[in-house]
Amino acid sequence: MGCSQSVDAAAAADTRVSQAIEEELKRARREEAMETKCLLLGPGESGKSTIVKQMRLVYSSPYTTAELLSFRETIFSNLLQSAQSLLSSFSALKIRLPADVKEETRWLREVDETEEVVDPETGGLRSEAAQALGRLWEAEGTKEAMRRSAEFQLNDSAEYFFTHLARIASPSYLPTEEDVLRTRVRSIGVVEQTFEVLKGRKLRVVDVGGQRSERKKWVHQFENIGMLLYALSCPSFPEQPRPTLIVGRRFVVAVSEYNQTLFEDSRQNRLDESLELWEMISASRWFRRSTFVLFLNKTDIFERKILSGFAPLAASVPNYRGPPSNVAAAKSYMLDTFTALYKQHTPERALFAHFTQATDKVSTQVVLGAVMTGVLTSTLQEMGLL
């Protein structure tokens, strides 16, 4: 009798343990289902990190004063890099600077470290550095170089920071959120951040470097991807006509950054690189169950180029038959190009595509809200959780 009770008690204990384990597994599965892993991919300088900064502002907390102050040196560095790029371009572009401006800005060429332009007492920009940067920006030759900036490597933020130089040069300068969004730091390695994008539903964003040397790290992040967000810069077809080339399933047509080349390879057009990456990702077996989101970024720069008349789309992309200087037609052509390539590999899978200006807080918030609500709701419905 006692033995039977002992066996029954042991069996009951085992049952309780099994039930507890099962409940824990169910809880873990529910939590896992409420978190979507989003892999953020794209070529270098496409604006991926800016999108992550916007996610932080939309779904987390604003930057603290200490965090804003920490961006000052990055902004000074961006200004210095842009100044050095401009100064180096004058010779190649056959642009002459006035002798006094050339002399006053000569030392900027030789600065190796950002610390050399920072006042050690205030942490702000040294007055002589601010003066030299101002003289460079006001020089007539600089206007010509800026118009031809596609012919050399120049940060997209150059004009913005030079325009705000007086404010940035103030000893009490505190960067704004827009200043932070405009900063450019090359992404290296893998950075993860988690945001609660809908009530109880989290998005774990994995941002990996876009330059070629960083892409070998991508494959290690390819497992269990619920959402893939591909960012590319929209204003980049070449100024000179490029032949239309169809090789298998690849259209080599200038679409993104159409008049710029890679930072790491001056022979490769950035749009061609974007299309090749897009094809690789669209066809990858790793993402057959993933939701795809395409951000055609930097539309503000793209629109200025189209409207300027200096780089007509038809002159660079022979297949384009739309009207010149027509932004709507040019954007439609670009979207159709990427969509067609995507559908060749995955004709039944949906694509969430948006034109974006990642540095604009209001418009990006609207796009992010629409994407997150639509994509995550769709994903949860497929999993039977809604």
**Is 48 annotated as belonging to a binding site?**
yes
Quick check: is 167 catalytic? no
Rounded CA-CA distance 131/133 in Å is 5
**Is 45 annotated as belonging to a binding site?**
yes
Q: Pick the catalytic residue: 45, 179, 239, 303?
A: 45
Q: Pick the catalytic residue: 72, 135, 182, 184?
A: 184
**Is 210 annotated as belonging to a binding site?**
yes
The answer to whether residues 329 and 322 touch, using CB atoms and an 8 Å cutoff, is yes
The structure tokens 């200043």 sit at 179
Q: For residue 131, give Cα distances in angstroms to 73, 127, 268, 345, 357.
A: 17, 6, 36, 55, 31
**Is 200 annotated as belonging to a binding site?**
no
**Is 102 annotated as belonging to a binding site?**
no
**Is 208 annotated as belonging to a binding site?**
yes
**Is 226 annotated as belonging to a binding site?**
no
Q: Pick the catalytic residue: 104, 179, 207, 257?
A: 207
Report residue 157 as tokens.
């933020």
* ∠ Cα 77 122 73 (to 5°): 15
**Is 155 annotated as belonging to a binding site?**
no
Report residue 129 as tokens.
């550095």
Closest CA to 222 of 284, 280, 283, 286: 286
**Is 336 annotated as belonging to a binding site?**
no
**Is 50 annotated as belonging to a binding site?**
yes
The answer to whether residues 299 and 363 touch, using CB atoms and an 8 Å cutoff, is no
The answer to whether residues 200 and 15 touch, using CB atoms and an 8 Å cutoff, is no
**Is 299 annotated as belonging to a binding site?**
yes
Query: Would you call 114 helix, strand, or coil by DSSP?
Result: helix
Q: What number of other Cβ atoms are within 10 A of residue 108's Cβ?
A: 20
The answer to whether residues 49 and 116 touch, using CB atoms and an 8 Å cutoff, is no
**Is 298 annotated as belonging to a binding site?**
yes
**Is 150 annotated as belonging to a binding site?**
no
**Is 297 annotated as belonging to a binding site?**
yes
Q: What number of other Cβ atoms are within 10 A of residue 144's Cβ?
A: 15
Q: Pick the catalytic residue: 50, 54, 183, 221?
A: 50
Q: Pick the catalytic residue: 74, 211, 268, 346?
A: 211
Quick check: is 211 catalytic? yes
**Is 233 annotated as belonging to a binding site?**
no
**Is 379 annotated as belonging to a binding site?**
no
**Is 326 annotated as belonging to a binding site?**
no
Closest CA to 227 of 26, 17, 36: 36
The answer to whether residues 61 and 280 touch, using CB atoms and an 8 Å cutoff, is no
Rounded CA-CA distance 226/231 in Å is 17
Rounded CA-CA distance 146/325 in Å is 20
Residue ranges for the binding site for GTP? 45-50, 156-157, 207-211, 297-300, 358
Annotated binding-site positions = 45-50, 156-157, 187, 207-211, 297-300, 358
Residues with active-site annotation: 45, 50, 184, 207, 211
List, as residue ranges, the binding site for Mg(2+). 49, 187
